Amino acid sequence: MSYDLVVLGGGPAGYLACERAAHEGLKVVLIEKRNVGGVCLNEGCIPSKTFLYSAKLKDGAEHGDKYGVKCRGIEIDHPAVVARKNKVVKTLTGGIASMLKGLKVEWVKAAGVIKGKGPDGYEVEADGKVYAAKRLLIATGSEAAMPPIDGLREQYEKGFALTNREILDIEAVPKKLVVIGGGVIGLEMASYFNSAGSEVTVIEMLEQIGGPIDADIAKLLKKNYEDKGITFKMGCRVTRIENGAVVYEEAGKQQKAECDKTLVCIGRKANTQGIGLESIGVLTERGAVVTDERMKTNLPEVYAAGDVNGKSMLAHTAYREAEVAINNMLGRKDKMKYNAIPGVIYTNPEVAGVGETEQSAKEKGLDVTIKKVPMQFAGRYVAENEGGNGFIKIIVDNKWNKLLGVHMITNYSSEIIWGADALVDKEMNIESIKKIVFPHPTVSEIIREAIWQL
């Protein structure tokens, strides 16, 4: 069976590539063994946000007294939260499947393996049939990394140790939860289960939570969650997982954190094993497919987009990479830029940032001005955040007087950061930004206020 494009993997990169290609009149076949939507829609971005929204409503009601709204007996009905999560996921995955069907994209619900290159192009075998096309897009995504921790595999098989996939289907809130890894996934799940009533401990090897986020924001976020009852063990290495406990090393001494469940989220690895890359000689590096700025691999008409190339494991990055790949397949010159990819942690409060941080700018020796402004400069923030302690930090290039980075910790930051992303991506100078009219009152006005504080 011959096509214009074979897409291997139906996550954000895969299904969006199918949509864009089909709109351009290409005959497309998608090979995906699970539901479309990938990790993001089925066991990541979307389901975790349903959890976090429920927690946000509960936290707001619990502290309503500050706003003249008195509520009592507030609790999270976890089974109901899971049921709603499943409904949301079913609605969205069904919508994507319907969209692909409407565009006449053929979806083969089976595992696909690249077999080689034949007279009709690159060949992928799935469900006992071979699908061939002149072009191939590898979009097989990623999976949770399973480090070589003593006892992890055994406890994972027993259901004591969980990954992001299993934690979202857990039937009951554990009394005690240990989260291994203080990155985005770990913090978001720690946030939800803390609100749901768990006694949460986060164990992180580094001295900062949140990975590469701004250091001041990381400190404030950690303080806020310590105030809510979350315990952080920083600079600690997990050495063993046993039934009912996580053993870790702290200041050279072995410590034990007893718990009912442990969530392992120390990163993700590209899904490149067992898909037949070696059959055509696709170049990989550190387990990820090597691509250039046009999403091309080392082979003609073979592209890779999304987590599988290991460049930026975010769904919105995958969307853009898919568009770049399709544009180049069609002869339209397009390239990927990674200097302005926004990142968000959907905790309460939210954290968002784009571009250079204060630390990265200093490491690169850039001549910059750093301005940190309290969120109290935005009237709506004050109206809606009694006792709030959020802030924004901007990084400005002194030579060219342009914005290099924006980082904030505040409610709505996930909805604001795209505007900051546009300012950084388009390399707007400060005088031009000052002329932008922001609606009032909005939390987003803090960007304007920060600019005028320079």
CA dist 156 → 110, 146, 152, 213, 272 (Å): 25, 10, 6, 30, 22
User: In terms of Cα–Cα distance, which of 186, 192, 161 is closest to 348?
Assistant: 192
Cα–Cα distance, 58 to 349 (Å, whole number): 14
Beta-bridge partners for 113: 125
Catalytic residue flag (residue 440):
yes
Tokens of 189: 């799940």
Identify each DSSP E strand in 330-448 by its residue range.
343-345, 351-355, 368-374, 391-397, 402-409
Environment class of 389 (CB within 10 Å of its CB; exposed 0-12, middle 13-18, buried 19+):
middle
What's the order of all strands across the beta sheet hosting 237-242?
237-242, 245-250, 253-258
φ, ψ for residue 158, nearest 5 deg: -80, -10
φ, ψ for residue 281, nearest 5 deg: 80, 35
User: Which position among 78, 316, 407, 440 bears the catalytic label?
Assistant: 440
Task: Give just the sign of the alpha carbon dihedral 58, 64, 69, 74.
Answer: positive
CA-only gyration radius of the chain, Å:
23
Cα–Cα distance, 47 to 239 (Å, whole number): 30
CA dist 134 → 27, 289, 294, 398 (Å): 11, 19, 17, 49
Tokens of 6: 């074979």
Cα–Cα distance, 150 to 154 (Å, whole number): 9
Catalytic machinery residues: 440
